Amino acid sequence: MSRAISVRGLAKRFGSLEALRGVDLEIEPGEFFALLGPNGAGKTTLISILAGLVRASAGQAEVMGHDVVHDYRAARRNLGVVPQELVFDPFFTVRETLQFQSGYFGIKRNDDWIDALLHHLNLTDKAETNMRRLSGGMKRRVLVAQALVHKPPVIVLDEPTAGVDVELRQTLWQFIRDLNRQGHTILLTTHYLEEAEELCERVAMLKEGRIVALDRTANLLRADSQRRVELRLNPRRLPEALQPRLLGEKDGAFLLSLHDFGELEGMLAEIRQAGVQIDGFCVRQPDLEEVFLQTMHGAAR
């Protein structure tokens, strides 16, 4: 069976800027995969190459075994992309937009599937509304429907929940989970790393056009096995004896390293001896955001 996405030695240069520098990546059919990285890392460039919007400077990219350059029609039929930008035609209704999108792929009599998309994305009551009259969140729902109207086996979501409300996020992720359970491959880019941690089986991290981490989400979290103690102190002063344990500060709390739960008693004793009151206390396991930040800071240029 062909891989859902296969990228080998992919490079892209815009003048003197190297957006991608020899990226190798393989995503299996049915995976829920996260592609993470800071702004400018090359995520959107990679997606644009897969979608045929940008031509690679070197290397090869395939979607479901179809080369995106030499067999571009088949590659695009197998791919649905939800772009980060809100791009829409202001002269058509929601239903007309989806009917036209169906026509681009040569699909006739697609009304049953369009109705299903409208239902699952809570757009049924907006079906006859002109696109320019929709809110930003509603427009983003239509973009999702457009990407799915031809039932592609591979779905790319480029920052799909950026700037949208909680209700849309919950609705969208429930629908996408259902599609993934039905066998669709999902490639997600997001700055909401808690979404990637919850949803995605594997994660790749891009920095300056190179993949600097690629593994199962659970393995990335396990590799950073160090526990953290989060302390809110009054006055906000960390005793000198605990300074070597300080990992940083977050939202006004001190984050201290903890190798063993038996160390807690000694740490609390140091705080009491220093005459400092504990206003808040919890032990935290590392999350994907912390792993991401450590990877970005530690990856060499």
* Strand partners of residue 13: 18
Residue 224, pLDDT score: 60
Mean pLDDT (the chain, rounded): 91
Residue 299 has pLDDT above 60, yes or no: no
Percentage of the chain modeled with pLDDT above 90: 66
Beta carbons of 2 and 71 less than 8 angstroms apart: no
Of the two residues 122 and 12, the one the predictor is more confident about is 12
| The residue to which tokens 């909680």 are assigned | 166
CATH code of the domain covering residue 71: 3.40.50.300
Give the position of tokens 């429930």. 174
Same domain for 59 and 109?
yes
Do residue 60 and residue 201 come from a single domain?
A: yes
Task: Quick: pLDDT tens for 251-285.
Answer: 889 988 887 778 888 988 999 999 999 999 888 77
Is 301 a residue whose pLDDT tops 60?
Answer: no
Are residues 214 and 202 in contact, defined by beta-carbon separation less than 8 angstroms? yes
Which range, of 20-29, 46-55, 227-236, averages the lowest pLDDT? 227-236
Residues 118, 252 within the same domain: no
| Residues 245 and 154 grouped into a single domain | no
pLDDT of amino acid 170? 85
Say if residue 173 is in the same domain as residue 230.
Answer: no
Give the Cα separation of 9 and 7 in Å (integer): 7
On whether residue 178 sits in a domain, the answer given is yes
Contact 212, 295 (CB under 8 A): yes
Q: Are 172 and 141 members of one domain?
A: yes
Q: Is residue 67 part of a domain?
A: yes
**Position of tokens 């006739």?**
108
Average pLDDT over residues 96-114: 94
Do 143 and 213 belong to one domain? yes
Do residue 153 and residue 277 come from a single domain? no
Res 97 pLDDT > 70 = yes
Q: What is the pTM of this model?
A: 0.81
In 3D, which of 30, 2, 14 has the Cα closest to residue 182? 30
DSSP the chain: ---SEEEEEEEEEETTEEEEEEEEEEE-TT-EEEEE--TTSSHHHHHHHHHTSS--SEEEEEETTEETTTTHHHHHHTEEEE-SS----TTSBHHHHHHHHHHHTT--S-HHHHHHHHHHTT-GGGTTSBGGGS-HHHHHHHHHHHHHTT--SEEEEESTTTT--HHHHHHHHHHHHHHHHTT-EEEEE-S-HHHHHHH-SEEEEEETTEEEEEEEHHHHHHHS--EEEEEEEESS---GGGGGGEEEEETTEEEEEES-GGGHHHHHHHHHHTT-EEEEEEEE---HHHHHHHHHHH---
Query: pLDDT for 152-193, tens place per residue?
Result: 999 999 988 877 778 778 888 998 999 999 999 999 999 889
102: confidence class by pLDDT, cuts 50, 70, 90: very high
Choose the final residue of a domain: 221, 245, 274: 221
Distances (CA, A) of 42 to 82, 118, 153, 158, 281: 17, 32, 24, 12, 39
Query: In this structure, is residue 192 part of a structural domain?
Result: yes
Better-predicted residue by pLDDT, 63 or 120: 63
Residue 294 counted as domain residue: no
Domain count, the chain: 2
Amino acid at 288: L
Helix axes 111-120, 166-181, angle to 10 degrees: 130
Asked if 147 and 278 sit in the same domain, the reply is no
In the prediction, which pLDDT does 261 show?
A: 78
Judge whether residue 53 has pLDDT over 50.
yes
The half-sphere exposure of 278 on its side-chain side, counting CA atoms within 13 A, is: 14
- Residue 291 falls within a domain, yes or no? no
Please report the pLDDT score of residue 167 as a whole number.
78
Which pLDDT does position 300 carry in this prediction? 47
| Position 295 in a domain | no
164 in a structural domain:
yes
Same-domain check for residues 78 and 170 = yes
**Is 301 a member of any domain?**
no
Domain boundary among 193, 221, 249: 221
Tell me the mean pLDDT in the region 35-41.
94
Same domain, 128 and 274: no
Residues 260 and 158 in one domain: no
The span from the CA of 210 to the CA of 205, in Å, is 8
Of 221, 239, 267, which closes a domain? 221
Provide the domain limits for residue 231: 226-285
> Which residue is associated with the tokens 């709390």?
253
